[in-house]
Amino acid sequence: MHALPTPELKFFADLSVQVDKPQEVGKTHHGVRRVIPILGGSVQGQGWQGRVLSGGADFQLLLGPSMAELDARYVIESEGGDLIFVTNRAVRTASPEVMAKIVRGEPVDPSTVYFRCSPSFETASPALSWITERLFIGTGARHPDQVVMRFFEVA
């Protein structure tokens, strides 16, 4: 029997995503539903860069006073003009007091929040097709007008 490889993390990209004011849908039978429009942003990877296009959104479900499930959908345009569709699911937890500040749009210390994500990518670009065949994970921080994230390839 052969030993299985231990996964390693390889830096993929840093993202800064500009967001608009939340659209508060309200309390549904699943939880409190919010939609956060994405206005744009920037991407900086190892040897490449791009921009986050406007038109995406982060669909949030607040499950209680200390936990939110996030489902962001948006498009990145690489410096070469290739388009990448991103689906990024995340879990964000913190104390009820810190979560209440985030919901109100107030700044919080990122070290007080557990924010982990699992982005996946789709592209028609032959040069970037490899990203559709890999797993990625990331970490993030929510600020009043932006979300910053760091993505890693699971190698």
What CATH number is associated with residue 105? 2.40.160.20
Count of structural domains within the chain: 1
- Name the pLDDT band for 22 (thresholds 50, 70, 90): very high
Establish if 3 belongs to a structural domain. no
Residue 43 pLDDT > 90: yes
- Name the pLDDT band for 42 (thresholds 50, 70, 90): very high
The pTM assigned to this predicted structure is 0.93
> Domain residues for 47?
9-154
**Would you list the DSSP string of 119-146?**
EEEEE--TTTGGGGGS-EEEEEEEETTE
Residue 1 pLDDT > 90: no
Establish if 78 belongs to a structural domain. yes
Count of CB atoms within 10 A of residue 22's CB?
A: 15
Establish if 2 belongs to a structural domain. no
What amino acid occupies position 115? F
Establish if 27 belongs to a structural domain. yes
Residue 103 pLDDT > 90: no
Establish if 1 belongs to a structural domain. no
Establish if 14 belongs to a structural domain. yes
CA distance 129 to 115: 27
Establish if 128 belongs to a structural domain. yes
Average pLDDT over residues 81-97: 97
